Amino acid sequence: MLYLRSVVAGVALFMVAATGFCGAEPSAKESLQVRYPEYVGDDPVFSRLTDYFADLLDLALAKSGRTYHLVPVPGQAVTDRRAMRNLDSGVYDVNFMHTSPDRETTLRPIYFPMFKGLAGWRLLLVRETDASRFDRKLTPGEFKRLRAGLGHDWPDVRYMKANGYEVVTSVNRDSLINMLIGDRIDYVSRSVIEVWDELEHYRQMPLAVACCVAIHYPSAFYMFTARDNEALADLLRQGLHSALEDGSFDQLFLRYYGEVIERSRLSERRIYQLYNPDLSDSTPLEHSDLWFQP
């Protein structure tokens, strides 16, 4: 992990809840204890995402100049709605989530896209036998008529439907892969930060990443705190921007995602642009250094 992270491990949840950052700003000499969810499982996609979040959280707090301890709260992956309740009720102090108007109103967002918008650069998982279908130039109308497979609670469902795409949903990723193999959908849309790990995860299945196309929409994953935890949110905001200014944020980002960016060769693909109806006016789209561009 980046820096010498002070981690309090194996702490019972009732003990963690008693020692977290409660919103009142401590003195400069007092050590912060910041609780964050730690995914427990063997899925390589979730593991990489949560490891990156933990390292970025560590970096931001280090740049804030405060003495701190990071306290992982182990658990299984949960839905965003459950994660919102966990933040609001104090199970942990900070988490990362895809933004939405509801989350920005209910919680306190730190308007710093931690994946530089990379979650909105989507590649297509397709059947190996069908991969050549995507080599030719599909018109936007032809592409929209293909059956896109998405999780029923993924934010892409709203985006793609709003942009006129045909969408078929299912309960989870395994079910989508089975639907793809069974020719019930034409592709599964996955972000650059997920698709290569997932191709490896399903390596026993006849899958491929379509070579010549990509979907793009503006997308932001933010760190969120509880609405009343302004002090922690301010520290994280200051630390993240300090890390951006001195280059350490981009170093961390590229350490995790430089390889998949290079492998995805986005500048060589036909890009189908979508608009995102969920972005608020507070989205820092004007700050180009916060966003990835091929």
In the chain, the domains with their CATH numbers are 13-115+221-246 (3.40.190.10), 118-216 (3.40.190.10)
Nearest CA-CA partner of 37 in 4, 2, 81, 70: 70
State how far the Cα of 15 lies from the Cα of 252, in Å rounded to an integer: 31
Supply the pLDDT for residue 27: 53
Nearest CA-CA partner of 111 in 272, 234, 259, 199: 234
| Cα atoms in the 13 Å half-sphere on the side-chain side of 39 | 20
Mean pLDDT of all residues in the chain?
89
The answer to whether residue 99 scores a pLDDT higher than 60 is yes
* Tens digit of each residue's pLDDT (9 = 90 or more) over 102-147: 999 999 999 999 999 999 999 999 999 999 999 888 899 999 999 9
Nearest CA-CA partner of 242 in 19, 43, 66: 66
Task: Enumerate residues 6+ apart whose C-beta is below 8 A from 225.
Answer: 87, 93, 94, 107, 108, 110, 232, 233, 236
Confidence class of residue 28 from pLDDT cuts 50, 70 and 90? low
Confidence class of residue 43 from pLDDT cuts 50, 70 and 90? confident
The answer to whether residue 37 scores a pLDDT higher than 90 is yes
SS3 category, 175: helix
Classify burial at 138, counting beta carbons within 10 Å of its beta carbon; exposed 0-12, middle 13-18, buried 19 or more. middle
- From start to end of the chain, where are the E strands? 32-39, 68-75, 94-98, 108-110, 121-127, 147-151, 166-170, 187-191, 207-209, 213-216, 221-225, 270-273
pTM of the predicted structure, to 2 decimals: 0.87
The answer to whether residue 248 scores a pLDDT higher than 70 is yes
Supply the pLDDT for residue 128: 95
